[in-house]
Amino acid sequence: MRDAEPKAIHLADYRPPEWLVDKVELDFALHPSQTRVTARLALRRNPEGTTGAPVVLEGDGLTLVRLAIDGKPLVGPSFEATPARLTLAHPPADTFVLEVETLVDPTANTQLMGLYRTSGNYCTQCEPEGFRRITYYPDRPDVLSVFTTRIEADKAEAPILLGNGNLVESGDIPGTARHFAIWHDPWPKPSYLFALVGGKLAKVADSFVTASGRKVELGIYVEEGKEARAGYAMDALKRSMRWDEEAFGREYDLDVFNIVAVSDFNMGAMENKGLNVFNDKYVLATPETATDADYSGIEGVIAHEYFHNWTGNRITCRDWFQLCLKEGLTVFRDQEFSSDQRSRPVKRIADVRMLKAAQFTEDSGPLAHPVRPETYREINNFYTATVYEKGAEVVRMLKTLLGEDGFRKGMDLYFERHDGDAATIEDFVAAFADAAGRDLTQFALWYAQSGTPLLNVSGSYDKEAGTFRLDVTQSVPPTPGQGDKKPMLIPLALGLVGPDGRDMPLTLGNTPVEHGVIEVKEAAQSFLFTGLEARPVPSLNRGFSAPVNLVSDLTEADRVFLAAHDGDPFNRFDSLQRIALELLKTCARSGTLPAPDALITATGAVVADTALDAAFKAQALALPGESEVARELGSDVNPDAVYAARKALRIAVGTALAADFARTYESAGAGGAFAPDAASAGRRALRNLALDYLAVTGAAEGIARAKVQFEAADNMTDRFAALAVLAQHDVPEREAALDAFYRRFESDALVIDKWFVLQAQIASEGTLDRVKGLMLHPAFSLSNPNRVRSLIGAFAATNPTQFNRADGAGHAFVADTVLSLDGKNPQVAARLLASFKTFRQLEPVRRASAEAALRRVAQTPGLSADVSDIATRSLG
């Protein structure tokens, strides 16, 4: 725990570092509770710094053992050391070597930042500010240094010793039971990219030859006995390495690339140079234990961390305000990779679904912040959907605006100019502006203005003139700290669909619209399209070209038409979703579901369309989620009413199309051995969606079908989908299946996480007690982030009716859990507390209980910076 009231840090206050580190030599003597860290820092005064500035190094909870300057021991009062800071008020020279010895306790490290233990092994997590928990250091991303790491450990306890870069030496220490390894990383890097691992691990080995012929040894390290589960991750790694060469011209730059899978990890994974550390959830998979979603998650995260080698490591961030420089760009790159490996339209639909559920929601509440924030009190709280997912959307828009070639030229220029730098968003945008010869000042507002822009679009057709006028207005709603917004540059991809279902010419005046994208720049703007012999139906924001909320004057009939004919698959999907959303909103408000005939007809047409692939159909048939309906309602939301509306509509669709779903279920039959490829996954997704609709009423036949599938399944995707269907219904088959599932997978933590998730998501009154009971289950632990996220996180974030119980018990429970977790792991606690971010949209009773729970947390003495920051901003 840190200072009670952490100070706000502002982008505007950025100053270059006073001291640089040319070289670091680290020596670790690993020990469970007293690991000795010796750091030799070759310090050099920054010529761009302040004259006479002292050396100030960050620390966090450190115990200093010894200090020396150029080999001579240093004694007070020439320095001041606290757990949080080491200061040399009068440095002896402008360059010197500072030797610092500290002791750290990896076993006591429950926050999982710095050096900690997981399943007995040693590992590190340093981004963003964990290195200061290992040694005193200028722990900021703009201090780049060349690291050499010597690791020494008990040979029995830690036979494997891994560091960044290449292995230069290793061996036994004569006369002892210990051994050592020395790793050298030739690429200068900031401290947040440092990593080491020591322990008993099994290696899965492979190799890769880069485009220019460099042979790279690849290693994935897992717990002994889990080697067979790393095959898909290895395959994804090799595909990622090839793809980055082909798509971006980026080659790998070391002789080895290692990945270590650990079971205690705060986030998904970490891109440490040459030594990625992963949450094992994103490495381990077999058909029996992992779902198709898990496989695609592994592929995406492996790619993401690998791609960071260029976007993050070779070019890093000047300061943490620039986090999106590496994260938004790298998410964009991993999305593009998955699109190329799988189906582009289906990937886009899945990404937009996730963007709306996580980022639009964040952007519409008290935790809204710009893609590049301008102030923070705890940087760990800014690893958000806005920085990551909206950050990726901004890069995607750049590509849409500049075109394939312009975008690639801009990326090339960015790499050329900034390789080896700690860069800024200004640098990034300038590379594109210069490469394309285009002013991107207005575009850069996407980094600075928070909130989801609202586009209002209406069309009018003039038969006589053969013209179609599109009137567009835009506004950005006020968000915390930003009352007034400027108009944004919005790339709006569109088409005008003619009566025959084909695109009509897209011509503004006499000029054809290039790539089907118009640029909306002003608060109000009109576009006059010419040469149209019939009234078109506009297909707007094709491919979700801009992350905006779009309101248009399209009728339900227009949407039915687009759902059937739009040349843009995303908008076929989106048209169905829009029809459903309007029904759901009306029903949630009035308690009565309007006749869903149009939706049923349009859905039936999609099910029957043999030209559409199964994965697309599965996306198109899944109704918008409860959180999207709630966000669209905006205020006075009763989650029970939203749930009831969605259930009613599912029953209506499921009943009306029962025969189609039954046919789909039978014909998309399992058949053949499991393969995780996109086409097979799509068939399973569609079949399992059909199963869900067939069981939606809870009638015996549907439940029986789910039970049969649950028992007969030969893969986790089908087994889990059947279990998820059963879990929604209060039938004896539910408890029987949950028990059988537990017994079957008892020894497999990642599968038991799924078992926790499902139970936490049950939308019925008994769930809170069930969740409380499961916290006492031997498989549960508050110390393991995956367990906490599976049980409590899933309850708070994906069970709106029970988290927001009218009696306030759900809110109180999550607040209590946040408080008991905060002393252990502030980052995970803060993330859990962020589940309250939508509370202002709730109806008054639930809003009051959420607010009371947040206040109770906020007023608790001794909070971590992480939790106090979320509590304060949520209430702000």
So which residues are the catalytic ones? Answer: 305
Q: What is the DSSP letter of 59?
A: -
Q: Are 148 and 182 in contact (CB under 8 A)?
A: yes
- Give 343 or 835: the residue with its C-beta nearer to ligand ARG: 835
Q: Report DSSP letters for 312-327, one per residue.
A: TTTBEESSGGGHHHHH
- DSSP reduced 3-state for 387: helix
- Give just the sign of the alpha carbon dihedral 846, 850, 851, 856: positive
Contact of residue 626 among Zn ion, ligand ARG, none (CB under 5-8 Å per partner type): none
Closest C-alpha among 602, 530, 616, 533 to residue 569:
616
Total number of residues that touch ligand ARG (CB under 6 A): 14
- Tokens 């499961």 correspond to 774
Contact of residue 364 among ligand ARG, Zn ion, none (CB under 5-8 Å per partner type): none
Closest C-alpha among 573, 546, 545 to residue 559:
573
User: In whole angstroms, what is the distance from residue 842 CA to residue 639 CA?
Assistant: 8
Among 20, 151, 270, 584, binds ligand ARG (CB under 6 A): 270
Q: Is 126 in the site for ligand ARG (CB under 6 A)?
A: no
Contact of residue 264 among Zn ion, ligand ARG, none (CB under 5-8 Å per partner type): none
524 Cβ contact partners less than 8 Å away, ≥ 6 residues apart: 471, 472, 473, 474
Contact range with Zn ion by CB under 5 A, out of 324-332, 505-513, 641-649, 688-696: 324-332
- DSSP reduced 3-state for 211: coil
Q: Is 60 in the site for ligand ARG (CB under 6 A)?
A: no
Contact range with Zn ion by CB under 5 A, out of 247-255, 320-328, 620-628, 826-834: 320-328
* CA contacts within 13 A on the Cβ side of 858: 16
- Give 322 or 827: the residue with its C-beta nearer to ligand ARG: 827
Q: Is 267 in the site for ligand ARG (CB under 6 A)?
A: yes
Q: What is the DSSP letter of 389?
A: I
Cβ 827 to ligand ARG shortest distance, Å: 6
Contact range with ligand ARG by CB under 6 A, out of 266-274, 642-650, 726-734, 743-751: 266-274
Cβ 402 to Zn ion shortest distance, Å: 24
Q: Is 127 in the site for ligand ARG (CB under 6 A)?
A: yes
- DSSP reduced 3-state for 73: strand
Q: Which of residues 321-350 bind ligand ARG (CB under 6 A)?
A: 327
Cβ 113 to ligand ARG shortest distance, Å: 6
Cβ 326 to ligand ARG shortest distance, Å: 7
Cβ atoms < 10 Å from Cβ of 458: 14
Contact range with ligand ARG by CB under 6 A, out of 194-202, 262-270, 752-760, 846-854: 262-270
- Which residues face 507 on adjacent strands? 512
Q: What is the DSSP letter of 450?
A: -
- Give 41 or 830: the residue with its C-beta nearer to ligand ARG: 830
Residues making up the chain, counted from first to last? 876
Contact of residue 322 among Zn ion, ligand ARG, none (CB under 5-8 Å per partner type): none
Contact range with ligand ARG by CB under 6 A, out of 93-101, 267-275, 278-286, 750-758: 267-275
- Give 400 or 827: the residue with its C-beta nearer to ligand ARG: 827
Q: Is 360 in the site for ligand ARG (CB under 6 A)?
A: no
Q: What is the 3-state secondary structure (H, E, C) of 779-830?
A: CCCCCCHHHHHHHHHHHHHHCHHHHCCCCCHHHHHHHHHHHHHHCCCHHHHH
Among 124, 266, 479, 638, binds ligand ARG (CB under 6 A): 266
User: In whole angstroms, what is the distance from residue 512 CA to residue 459 CA?
Assistant: 19
Binding mask 741-770 for ligand ARG (x = CB under 6 A): ------------------------------
Cβ 464 to ligand ARG shortest distance, Å: 56
- Give 152 or 389: the residue with its C-beta nearer to ligand ARG: 389
Contact of residue 267 among Zn ion, ligand ARG, none (CB under 5-8 Å per partner type): ligand ARG
Cβ 203 to ligand ARG shortest distance, Å: 23
Cβ 687 to ligand ARG shortest distance, Å: 33
Contact range with ligand ARG by CB under 6 A, out of 40-48, 49-57, 122-130, 235-243: 122-130
Contact range with ligand ARG by CB under 6 A, out of 263-271, 477-485, 649-657, 663-671: 263-271
CA 774, distance to chain mean position in Å, is 27
User: In whole angstroms, what is the distance from residue 418 CA to residue 598 CA?
Assistant: 54
- Give 383 or 407: the residue with its C-beta nearer to ligand ARG: 383
Counts of helices then strands in the chain (DSSP H, E)? 29, 34
Cβ 453 to ligand ARG shortest distance, Å: 26
User: In whole angstroms, what is the distance from residue 682 CA to residue 485 CA?
Assistant: 42
Closest C-alpha among 761, 786, 821 to residue 294:
786
Among 142, 271, 292, 351, binds ligand ARG (CB under 6 A): 271
Contact of residue 383 among Zn ion, ligand ARG, none (CB under 5-8 Å per partner type): ligand ARG
180 Cβ contact partners less than 8 Å away, ≥ 6 residues apart: 150, 151, 152, 153, 161, 169, 170, 171, 173
252 Cβ contact partners less than 8 Å away, ≥ 6 residues apart: 208, 210, 214, 216, 241, 309
- Give 817 or 827: the residue with its C-beta nearer to ligand ARG: 827
For the chain, the 3-state helix, strand and coil shares in percent, each to the nearest 5, are 45, 20, 35
- Give 109 or 827: the residue with its C-beta nearer to ligand ARG: 827
Cβ 276 to ligand ARG shortest distance, Å: 9
Contact range with Zn ion by CB under 5 A, out of 319-327, 721-729, 772-780, 865-873: 319-327
Distances (CA, A) of 148 to 31, 181, 183, 491: 20, 11, 6, 47
Tokens (6 digits) for 496: 């005008």
- Give 336 or 733: the residue with its C-beta nearer to Zn ion: 336
- Give 294 or 568: the residue with its C-beta nearer to ligand ARG: 294
Closest C-alpha among 270, 329, 275 to residue 301:
270
Q: Are 319 and 13 in contact (CB under 8 A)?
A: no
Instruction: Give the angle 242-244-249 at the CA atoms, nearest 5°.
Output: 105
Cβ 304 to Zn ion shortest distance, Å: 5
Contact of residue 223 among ligand ARG, Zn ion, none (CB under 5-8 Å per partner type): none
- Give 383 or 839: the residue with its C-beta nearer to ligand ARG: 383
Q: Is 380 in the site for ligand ARG (CB under 6 A)?
A: yes
Cβ 731 to Zn ion shortest distance, Å: 42
672 Cβ contact partners less than 8 Å away, ≥ 6 residues apart: none
Cβ 309 to ligand ARG shortest distance, Å: 11
Q: Are 224 and 304 in contact (CB under 8 A)?
A: no
Cβ 197 to ligand ARG shortest distance, Å: 16
Tokens (6 digits) for 111: 């926050």
Among 282, 383, 432, 461, binds ligand ARG (CB under 6 A): 383
Upstream peptide bond of 778 is cis (omega within 30 degrees of 0): no
Q: Which of residues 803-832 bind ligand ARG (CB under 6 A)?
A: 827
Q: Which of residues 281-310 bind ligand ARG (CB under 6 A)?
A: 304-305
Q: Is 131 in the site for ligand ARG (CB under 6 A)?
A: no
- Give 569 or 826: the residue with its C-beta nearer to ligand ARG: 826
Residues at the contact surface with Zn ion, assessed by CB under 5 A:
327, 330
Residues at the contact surface with ligand ARG, assessed by CB under 6 A:
125, 127-128, 266-267, 269-271, 304-305, 327, 380, 383, 827
